[in-house]
């Protein structure tokens, strides 16, 4: 039995969000692509891009980012926007799984926030051919199921924007086995950002050896930062969480297959 419903995949509606940027509602997942309360652009910047770049080692030849999943591409485009304002020496490679080809092909017509205007040509290329390359950045959309494409990524990953639909709606992208696949591809100083602070998600990360922190700042509701090495942030005490809630458990693939 599949948890997905391709018949409904094309049923989407544009929805305005709190910061004025637009997102979509998906009938297949009965959920919006972004938090309407936080705002699509603000969520992307404050839950993913700013914490990831402030906590990552960017002083290297190549910085590899996994953007799960591409959707409207806000996280990839907000990364380009950030790099325009804060250039780094490293070449940036972005891999982004996505199984909705029609959505990506339609993005040339999406009404993006003004700050993405400089990337119109890049959006065009991604919509047409699923990839873009210049001397500073390489973007590859990995068409297909993320569970199949992530293990095939040929590079060690430095940053993960963990931004699928919610664990309730898209559980296979939040299981212990899913995080194990990410861990297997991680560089030693990988930083993972996510909007979720749900205990089963944190358990899945913790059981794979990640240290956990609340997303810093108060621009958006708290999510989670996961890291393989200690960070200068207030840690989430998972041993205490387990003591207080002995039923706490990660999601497992076997619950859904």
Ligand X SMILES: C[S@@+](CC[C@H](N)C(=O)[O-])C[C@H]1O[C@@H](n2cnc3c(N)ncnc32)[C@H](O)[C@@H]1O
> Footprint of ligand X on this chain (CB under 6 A)?
33, 44, 69, 71-75, 97-100, 103, 145-147, 163-165, 170, 173
Q: How far is the CB of 106 from ligand X (least distance, A)?
A: 11
Q: Count each helix (H run) and each strand (E run) in the chain, helices first.
A: 9, 11
Under 8 Å between Cβ of 75 and 49: yes
Closer to ligand X by Cβ: residue 224 or 238:
224
Q: Give the span between the Cα atoms of 179 and 175, in whole angstroms.
A: 6
Could you say which DSSP state residue 216 is in? P
Least separation, in Å, of the C-beta of 100 and ligand X? Answer: 4
The distance in angstroms from the start CA to the end CA of the chain is 7
Smallest distance, ligand X to C-beta of residue 137, A: 17
Among all residues, whose Cβ is closest to ligand X? Answer: 71
Q: Which is nearer to ligand X, 79 or 187 (CB)?
A: 79
Q: What is the DSSP string of 228-247?
A: SS--SSPBP-HHHHHHH-TT
User: 144 vs 235, which CB is nearer to ligand X?
Assistant: 144
Smallest gap from residue 227 Cβ to ligand X (A): 20
Residue 103: CB minimum distance to ligand X, A: 6
Q: Residue 116 or 165: which CB sits closer to ligand X?
A: 165
Conformational region of residue 108, where left means phi above 0, alpha means psi within -120 to 50, and beta covers everything else: alpha
Instruction: Return the closest-CA partner of residue 3 out of 123, 178, 172, 180.
Output: 172
Q: Which residues contact 139 (CB under 8 A, 6 or more apart)?
A: 76, 93, 94, 96, 122, 126, 131, 132, 133
Kindly compute the dihedral angle of the four CA atoms of residues 13, 73, 68, 157, in this order, to the nearest 10 degrees.
Answer: 180
Based on CB atoms, which residue is closest to ligand X, 223 or 236? Answer: 223
List Cβ neighbours of 39 (8 Å cut-off, separation of 6 or more): 17, 18, 19, 20, 21
Hey, is 70 helix, strand or coil? coil
CB of 149 to ligand X, least distance (A): 7
- The residue among 73 and 167 lying less far from ligand X, judged by its C-beta, is 73
User: What is the closest distance, in whole angstroms, from the C-beta atom of residue 123 to ligand X in the complex?
Assistant: 12
Closer CB to ligand X, 8 or 86, in the complex: 8
């Amino acid at each position: 039995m599949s948890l997905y419903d391709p018949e409904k995949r094309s049923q989407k509606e544009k929805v305005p969000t709190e910061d004025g940027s637009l997102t979509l509602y998906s009938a297949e997942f009965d959920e919006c692509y972004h938090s309407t309360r936080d705002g699509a652009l603000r969520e992307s910047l404050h839950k993913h891009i700013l914490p990831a770049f402030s906590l990552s080692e960017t002083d290297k030849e190549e910085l590899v980012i996994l953007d799960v999943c591409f959707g409207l591409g806000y996280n990839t485009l907000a990364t380009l926007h950030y790099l325009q304002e804060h250039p780094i020496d490293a070449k940036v490679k972005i891999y982004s799984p996505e199984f909705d080809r029609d959505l990506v092909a339609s993005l040339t017509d999406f009404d993006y926030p003004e700050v993405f205007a400089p990337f119109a040509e890049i959006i065009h290329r991604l919509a047409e051919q699923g990839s873009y390359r210049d001397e500073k950045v390489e973007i590859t959309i990995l068409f297909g199921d993320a569970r199949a494409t992530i293990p095939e990524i040929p590079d060690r990953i430095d940053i993960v924007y963990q931004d699928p639909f919610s664990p309730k709606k898209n559980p296979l992208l939040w299981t212990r086995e899913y995080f194990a696949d990410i861990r297997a591809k991680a560089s030693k100083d990988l930083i993972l950002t996510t909007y979720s602070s749900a205990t089963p998600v944190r358990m899945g990360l913790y059981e794979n050896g990640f240290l956990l922190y609340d997303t810093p700042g108060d621009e958006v509701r708290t999510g989670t930062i996961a890291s393989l090495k200690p960070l200068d942030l207030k840690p989430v005490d998972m041993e205490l969480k387990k003591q207080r809630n002995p039923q706490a458990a990660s999601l497992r693939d076997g619950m859904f297959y």
